[in-house]
Chain A
Amino acid sequence: MNAPGVDISQPPLPLRRRLVELLLGGGLLASAASFLYPILRYIVPPPSADLGGDTVVAGKVGDLKPNSGRIFRFGSKPGLLVFTADREYRALSATCTHLDCTVQYRDDLHQVWCACHNGIYDLNGRNVSGPPPRPLESYEVHVQGDEIVVTRRQKA
Chain B
Amino acid sequence: MTRRVLQTAILTLLLAALGSPGLAPPAAAQQPNTCLDCHSEFPEPLGVTREKFAADVHAQKGLTCASCHGGDPTKATPEESMSRAAGFRGHVDRRQVPDLCARCHSDAAYMRQYNPSLRTDQLSQYHTSVHGKRLAQGDARVAVCTDCHSVHDIRPGSDARATIHPLNIAETCSRCHSDAAYMKPYKIPTDQYAGYKESVHHRALAVRGDLSAPTCTTCHGNHGAAPPGVASVEFVCSNCHVFQAQLFDTSPHKSAFEAAGLPACVTCHSNHRVVAPGDAMLGTGPQSACTGCHVEGDGGYTAALSFQRRIAELQTAVERSGEILNRAEQYGMEVSEAKLEQAQARDALTKARVTIHSFQIDQVEKDVQAGLKITEKTYQAGVLALQERDFRRKGLGISLLAILVVLVGLRLYIRQIESGEGKGSA
Contacts and interface: CB of A to CB of B under 8 A. Distances in A.
Interface of A: 1-2, 13, 16-17, 20-21, 23-24, 26-28, 30-31, 33-35, 37, 46, 48, 50, 73, 75-78, 95, 99-102, 115-118, 130-131, 133
A116 B354 contact: yes
A73 B340 contact: yes
Interface residues of B, number: 42
Contact of A30 (B208, B344, B402): B402
Contacts of A1: 422-423, 425-426
Contacts of B403: 27, 31, 34
Nearest to B409: A24
Q: 5 shortest A-B CB distances, which residue pairs?
A: A34-B399, A24-B409, A30-B402, A27-B405, A27-B406
Interface stretch (B172-180, B248-256, B265-273, B331-339): B331-339
Contact of A117 (B204, B354, B409): B354
A48 B334 CA distance: 10
A101 B343 CA distance: 7
A2 B426 contact: yes
B210 A133 contact: yes
10 contacts: A16-B416, A23-B409, A27-B404, A28-B406, A31-B402, A46-B334, A50-B336, A100-B346, A101-B347, A116-B351
Contact of A23 (B243, B351, B405, B425): B405
B101 interface: no
A117 B237 CA distance: 13
B331 to A, nearest CB: 15
Contact of A99 (B210, B350, B404, B412): B350
B340 A133 contact: no
Contacts, number: 102
A82 to B, nearest CB: 19
Contact of A102 (B210, B334, B343): B343
Contacts of A20: 409, 412-413, 416
Nearest to B406: A27
A27 B208 CA distance: 62
Q: For the complex, would chain B's binding face be called helix, strand, loop or mixed by DSSP majority?
A: helix
Nearest to B424: A1
A145 B288 CA distance: 59
Contact of B412 (A23, A50, A77, A100): A23
Interface of B: 204, 208-210, 213, 240-243, 334-337, 339-340, 343-344, 346-347, 350-351, 354, 395, 398-399, 401-410, 412-413, 416, 422-423, 425-426
A34 B406 CA distance: 13
B339 to A, nearest CB: 4
A76 B339 contact: yes
Contacts of B242: 117-118, 130
Nearest to A127: B212
Given A17-B416, A101-B346, A117 B243 contact: yes
A23 B399 contact: no
A139 to B, nearest CB: 16
Contacts of B339: 76
B240 A34 contact: no
A101 B204 CA distance: 18
A76 B351 CA distance: 21
Nearest to A115: B351
A12 B243 CA distance: 88
B295 to A, nearest CB: 32
A5 B195 CA distance: 100
A21 B395 CA distance: 24
Contacts of A100: 343, 346, 350
